[in-house]
Amino acid sequence: LSATPTFKFGKASSKVSTLRKDSSPMPRRPSSSPISVKYGVNTRDGSSAYLALSLSMVRASVHETALLGDSRLLSYTAVKCNPDPYVLRLLAALGTGFDCASHGEISQVLGVGGIDPSRIIFANPCKATSFIRQAAKMGVDMMTFDNADELYKIARVHPRAKLVIRILTDDSKSLCRLGLKFGAPLVAVPDLLAKAKELGLDVIGVSFHVGSGCYDPNAFSDAVMRARSAFDMGAEVGYKFNFLDVGGGFEDADFEDKAKVLSGAIERYFPSREGLRIIAEPGRFYVSAAFTLVANIIARRARGSSSDVITESSDSSQPSVMYYINDGVYGSFNCIMFDHQEVQPFVLTMGKSFDLERFAGTPVVPSSIWGPTCDSIDCVCPLTSLPPALEVGDYLGFRGMGAYTTCAASQFNGFQRSLVRYTSGIGPDSRAVRRALQLFAA
Ligand code: PLP
């Protein structure tokens, strides 16, 4: 398989640092009271890691989308990001719509109950014909396209669809560049719209996605400007667009900045909002902070043990203890590979103790964290600081594990996907995580 990441193992640092009270960044939003609480049993035998979900964090994010600047902006949650049934139920109850990528996601959303198919956009510009046919049967009319072949398929099996043309925008400032795969360049838009007209199809508006993990808020103003051009092209062909989909790409860290840029651009390029429906498709923003991954240390290799195989090195900044946990890059941590995420652990238990307060000030040494598979690319954290007193059986926590994690996990090497536990109030405070863990272990 793949080669080992290029870092060396060395002696434990002679200058031992200590564990900070809480070394992980605090989520920006305060946690509010829980919506749904469900406790499960955790076996403590290392057989399964789990993700602990605080629905209150999701709820807080949904309310915050109002910051996008306009109460007329509707939110269509990107299901692909985290299709957990409780998340979907909460979002449905809060009144969001849903951006679905497949027939499976549409079925799951409609399976929640009480969701009208008009609250779904089938936002995959390249769909299997059978999926388009199924969408027609289920009453899902709104769907995106970015090529002529898609128009032929839709004309054949779902001629009364409400179409949205996905345009290409500059996604060079995003970690996940969706434009490599989707989006019609503006030069192609007039011909595509003319073809749609010729086929008698109803195109209602324009969508874009600036890319997931977008770190430049200005990408939104550029995209809205392009959308304006596409609206004008639609008018030339004889369409009267009334729908703008600004996609996803929102994140906790700079949400306000993006919201400001976006609402400014909408005001500038769409000054007359009469009859215009605007939607966003946030994924990561809703769920990222709401999930904490709890993983069990299943093995450990440290310098000084008789079976030690860690290479000697004089570099004291390199890991001297290797911890192996029961989830890795083929599981929930696939976000490291696909999503360029960097994760940092916090200590949840030490020597069977849950006393996080006592852990503060514990000496730490440079350490690395590895997933459970036999593949050397399965490295969760190449360098971090952890107490060498951690034992097999102890738990590490990882915050911000709600977006594109377990939903994209494989069972490579025969390992189960991590389960989700529904807890109350796992927010910025790790005491809540500890409490939940106690309940699980009981
Ligand atoms: N909409 C579409 C069409 C997408 O493909 C994605 C992500 O891939 C999203 C929305 C959600 O993006 P994000 O999680 O960055 O908000």
Q: 172 near 223, Cβ under 8 Å?
A: no
- The pLDDT-based confidence of 309 (bands split at 50, 70, 90) is very low
Comparing 71 with 324, which gets the higher pLDDT?
324
CA separation for the pair 350, 344 (Å, rounded): 17
Q: How far is CA 32 from CA 55, 57, 370, in A?
A: 9, 7, 34
- pLDDT at position 101, please? 98
Q: Are residues 36 and 98 in the same domain?
A: no
Comparing 162 with 272, which gets the higher pLDDT?
162
pTM metric for this prediction:
0.84
CA separation for the pair 51, 418 (Å, rounded): 7
Shortest-distance atom of ligand 1 to CA 213: 15
Is residue 48 assigned to a domain?
yes
Is residue 58 assigned to a domain?
no
Cα(415) to centroid(ligand 1), Å: 28
- The pLDDT-based confidence of 440 (bands split at 50, 70, 90) is very low
What the block records as the tokens of 136 is 């027609």
Closest CA to 292 of 439, 94, 424: 424
- pLDDT at position 435, please? 55
Q: Are residues 220 and 325 in the same domain?
A: no
Is residue 74 assigned to a domain?
no
Region of 20 please: left (phi>0), alpha (psi -120 to 50) or beta. beta
Count the domains in the chain. Answer: 2
Burial class (CB in 10 A: 0-12, 13-18, 19+), 400: buried
CA separation for the pair 326, 315 (Å, rounded): 28
- Would residue 379 show up in a list of annotated catalytic residues for this protein? no
Mean pLDDT, range 267-287, rounded to an integer: 91
Q: Are strands 379-386 and 243-245 parallel, antiparallel or unpaired?
A: unpaired
The sign of the torsion formed by the CA atoms of 188, 190, 192, 195 equals negative
Whether pLDDT at 288 is above 50: yes
- pLDDT at position 422, please? 75
Is residue 241 assigned to a domain?
yes
Q: Which residue, by CA, sits nearest to atom 9 of ligand 1? A: 248
Comparing 152 with 92, which gets the higher pLDDT?
152
Whether pLDDT at 56 is above 70: no
Q: Which residue, by CA, sits nearest to atom 8 of ligand 1? A: 212
Dihedral over alpha carbons 91, 27, 337, 370 (to 10 degrees): -120
Q: Tell me, what DSSP letter sits at residue 374?
A: S
Mean pLDDT, range 41-69, rounded to an integer: 57
Q: Are residues 253 and 367 in the same domain?
A: no
- pLDDT at position 385, please? 94
Cα(123) to centroid(ligand 1), Å: 9
Q: Are residues 249 and 221 in the same domain?
A: yes
* Domain end (from 256, 282, 308): 282
Shortest-distance atom of ligand 1 to CA 285: 16
Burial class (CB in 10 A: 0-12, 13-18, 19+), 339: middle
Whether pLDDT at 165 is above 90: yes
CA separation for the pair 241, 99 (Å, rounded): 20
Whether pLDDT at 202 is above 60: yes
What the block records as the tokens of 306 is 């008789």
pLDDT tens readout for residues 144-159:
999 999 999 999 999 9
Is residue 69 assigned to a domain?
no
Q: Are residues 140 and 250 in the same domain?
A: yes
Cα end-to-end span (Å), the chain: 40
Interface ipTM above 0.90: yes
Dihedral over alpha carbons 244, 249, 250, 252 (to 10 degrees): 170
Is residue 226 assigned to a domain?
yes
The sign of the torsion formed by the CA atoms of 330, 333, 334, 338 equals negative
Q: Which residue, by CA, sits nearest to atom 7 of ligand 1? A: 212
Residues with CB under 6 A from ligand 1: 78, 81, 99, 123, 178, 209, 212, 247-250, 281-285
Question: For residue 12, which amino acid is it?
Answer: A
Q: Which of 81, 143, 208 to mutate to test the pocket of ligand 1 (most atoms within 8 A of CB)?
A: 81
Q: Are residues 228 and 356 in the same domain?
A: no
Helices 85-94 and 55-64: crossing angle in degrees, nearest 10, is: 40
Q: Which long-range contacts (CB under 8 A, 24 or more apart) does 87-95 make?
A: 87/53, 87/55, 87/58, 87/286, 87/287, 87/290, 88/112, 89/36, 90/35, 90/36, 90/55, 90/58, 90/59, 91/58, 91/62, 91/286, 94/59, 94/62
Whether pLDDT at 314 is above 60: no
Closest CA to 129 of 118, 137, 121: 137
Cα(80) to centroid(ligand 1), Å: 8
Shortest-distance atom of ligand 1 to CA 214: 15
Q: Are residues 141 and 268 in the same domain?
A: yes
CATH classification of the domain holding 178: 3.20.20.10
Q: Are residues 353 and 212 in the same domain?
A: no
Q: Are residues 42 and 130 in the same domain?
A: no
Residue span of the structural domain in which 225 resides: 83-282
Whether pLDDT at 357 is above 70: no
Q: 99 near 281, Cβ under 8 Å?
A: yes
Is residue 380 assigned to a domain?
yes
Out of 81, 176, 214, 374, pick the active-site residue.
374
Q: Are residues 208 and 256 in the same domain?
A: yes
CATH classification of the domain holding 22: 2.40.37.10
Q: 85 near 107, Cβ under 8 Å?
A: no
Is residue 67 assigned to a domain?
no
**Mean pLDDT of all residues belonging to the chain:** 82
Most confident of 13-22, 35-44, 310-319, 422-431: 310-319
- pLDDT at position 12, please? 28
- The pLDDT-based confidence of 3 (bands split at 50, 70, 90) is very low
Q: Of all residues in the chain, what percent carry a pLDDT higher than 70?
A: 75
Q: 44 near 9, Cβ under 8 Å?
A: no
Q: Are residues 433 and 307 in the same domain?
A: yes
Cα(9) to centroid(ligand 1), Å: 38
Q: 43 near 413, Cβ under 8 Å?
A: no
CA separation for the pair 173, 175 (Å, rounded): 7
Cα(273) to centroid(ligand 1), Å: 25
- The pLDDT-based confidence of 272 (bands split at 50, 70, 90) is confident
* Domain end (from 282, 308, 329): 282
- pLDDT at position 431, please? 54
- pLDDT at position 50, please? 66
CA 412-404-370 angle, to 5 degrees, is 45
- pLDDT at position 359, please? 74
Q: Are residues 32 and 158 in the same domain?
A: no
The sign of the torsion formed by the CA atoms of 34, 36, 39, 44 equals negative
Q: What is the DSSP string of 380-416?
A: EEEEEEE-TT--TT-EEEESS--SSSGGG---GGGPP
* Domain end (from 231, 266, 282): 282
- The pLDDT-based confidence of 36 (bands split at 50, 70, 90) is very low
